[in-house]
Amino acid sequence: MLYEICKEICDRRGFTYEGSLIKRFHDIHLEDGVEQGHKDGLAAFVDLGPDAADGVGEPIDMDEVRKGALEAIRVMRVWWDALLNKSLGHSVLSAA
């Protein structure tokens, strides 16, 4: 979906999507394995959780995991809002 949105924005603004930085961003995430790496890394981390069958690894402080996850989401919301603000000309978060 993001691919289609970015391609449409480029088309509407008269930019070439092929060869653009945003196209490269999509390519490294989808074709070069970045997203799969995120998924695999998260799966390995979750497998070390308190319910892990093998019991190997250090205990995980679930409160710290929650805080870290919420902080990551907060930062990504700011990042995505800045991207949308640049594309749409207004903040999406301030309207929420």
Query: What integer pLDDT is reported at residue 45 of this predicted model?
Result: 67
Q: What is the pTM of this model?
A: 0.49
Under-70 pLDDT residues of the chain: 44-59, 94-96
Alpha-carbon separation of residue 71 from 32, 65, 66, 74, 77 (angstroms): 26, 10, 9, 5, 10
Query: What integer pLDDT is reported at residue 59 of this predicted model?
Result: 67
Query: What integer pLDDT is reported at residue 34 of this predicted model?
Result: 76
Q: Check if the beta carbon of residue 26 is closer than 8 Å to that of residue 6.
A: yes
